[in-house]
Structure 1
Amino acid sequence: MQLYFMGIAYRKKVDDDTELALWKIEENAEELYQQLQLDEEEQSYLQKLSNSKRYLHWLGTRVLLRKMLNTEEYIDCRADEHGKPYLTSIPYHISFSHSFDYAAVMISKNKPVGIDIERVDQKVERIVKKFLRPDELAFIQPKHRIMQLYICWCAKEAIYKCYGRKEVSFLNHIYLDAFDYHKAGVFHATIKNEMVNLNFEVAYFQFNEYMIGYAKEA
């Protein structure tokens, strides 16, 4: 099911406890800032980002989170030692992403989630061997190579965020099952290293010139 609200470019209910949304950042920083309640630590952090794209992205994800949770109360959103965001007093798992003019947020009541949004560009070819192994490159279809590479990148990024630990290599620890290219789809993946062996369900879809991937433990 896809839902649309003022200010939200796209909203999807993944299941009864999980949803994601995209916010197209058309406001200036002051307009976004006025929609938030921030404590001193957050305000201090924002001063370091002032006048940068990261500043708008940070504000955009927090505004979108507030809309999705449908609250006017202060939201205490922190990051753990691995940089994974979490809410201190609201029982939701969360994940943030952003790319150019869009912010993306995913929330779930029952399990960790991860989301990634990327604007599709030929530049992905430069880093292919840094995140895909030969067995994964083998299932990339030449006709849809760039789009499928972005699906793989978004999938690994979403899995990385879902797992939430820094000691994971895209190339060496995240394994994608083979899949054929479609404009939207679902496939499975695994994190394997000396510490963990976890299975994930990954879904993806195209939105205009962007690719979105999201993941949760299977």
Structure 2
Amino acid sequence: MGLAYQKKIDAKTCFAVWKIEETAEDLFSRLQLNDIERAYLESLNNGKRNLHWLSTRVLLRQMLNTDEYIDCRVDEHGKPYLANFPHHISFSHSFDYAAVMISKDKPVGIDIELVKSKIIRVANKFMSPTELEFIDPNHTIPHLYICWCAKEAVYKLNGRGNVSFKDHIHIKPFLYATKGSFAATLEVEEEKQIDVCFEAFEDYMIGYAAAYMP
């Protein structure tokens, strides 16, 4: 199927979602990869990990709309970046979908997750007691996924290690909805405010953030 959804955030920022229905061979044929990338790809187990890696790169190529080689690297913190394009980037994937967010002028973070009941069992590992108080009891599972995706998006936007979802990323109370935004705070060294957006997509939840609030 390929491109399943695309959203423009502003003139220089957007994200897109790719439905993975292709074979690894088909996705591979659409890419230009160097020897290091080929070796890394060969190190992955065949299956979803392989397809996720390939699909995010194919989607990135389509979003950049280029025939040039895309030099996509990973920094010392594991954050992907482009060496030969000016864009900030963020990748995510979950089961049958991959997501990519790009911006020419600001850091970005995106997360996509299949909504499943298991999140209830781990909620207290990434949510503070204060945050758990505002979770809608009638929509507990999707509300928790909004929070998880939001914290993951903030984590990726920040792009640094040693950040605890529970202790360093805090979400201001917000009402459950299938689409919206709310404020989050990243408290590492100095406090940073971030506006996080979210929306339900089929059986998935997407959370994304771009830049820090002034």
TM-score (norm 2): 0.97
* Counterparts of 2:186 and 2:82, CA distance in 1: 25
Paired residue for 1:14? 9
Shift of 1:160: 0.1
Paired residue for 2:74? 79
Number of residue pairs the alignment of both structures matches: 212
Q: Out of 184, 197, 217, which is 2:191 matched to?
A: 197
* Counterparts of 1:140 and 1:125, CA distance in 2: 11
| 2:43 counterpart SS class | helix
* Counterparts of 1:88 and 1:197, CA distance in 2: 29
Paired residue for 1:3? none
Paired residue for 2:112? 117
Aligned letter for 2:183? H
Q: Which runs of 5 or more residues in structure 2 are unaligned?
A: none
Aligned letter for 2:17? L
Q: Out of 194, 199, 214, which is 2:208 matched to?
A: 214
User: Superposition RMSD on alpha carbons, in Å?
Assistant: 0.8
Paired residue for 2:169? 174
| 2:138 counterpart SS class | helix
Q: Indicate yes or no: 2:152 matched with 1:157.
A: yes
Q: Deviations over 1:119-140 (max 9, x none)?
A: 0000001110100001100110
Shift of 1:179: 0.3
Q: Which runs of 5 or more residues in structure 1 are unaligned?
A: 1-5
Aligned letter for 2:159? G
Q: Deviations over 1:102-127 (max 9, x none)?
A: 00000001110000000000000111
Aligned letter for 2:168? H
Summarize the alignment of residues 71-150 of structure 1 with structure 2, pairs less than 5 Å apart. Answer: 71-150=66-145
Shift of 1:72: 1.2
Q: Indicate yes or no: 2:30 matched with 1:30.
A: no
Paired residue for 1:57? 52
Aligned letter for 1:9? A
| 2:139 counterpart SS class | helix
Q: Deviations over 1:136-186 (max 9, x none)?
A: 001101011111000000000000000000111000000101000111001
- Moved beyond 4 Å, runs of 4+: none
Aligned letter for 1:117? I
Paired residue for 2:34? 39
Aligned letter for 1:96? F
| 1:63 counterpart SS class | helix
Shift of 1:52: 2.7
Is the CA contact 2:2–2:21 (under 8 Å) kept in the aligned structure 1?
Answer: no
| 1:187 counterpart SS class | strand
* Counterparts of 1:189 and 1:17, CA distance in 2: 22
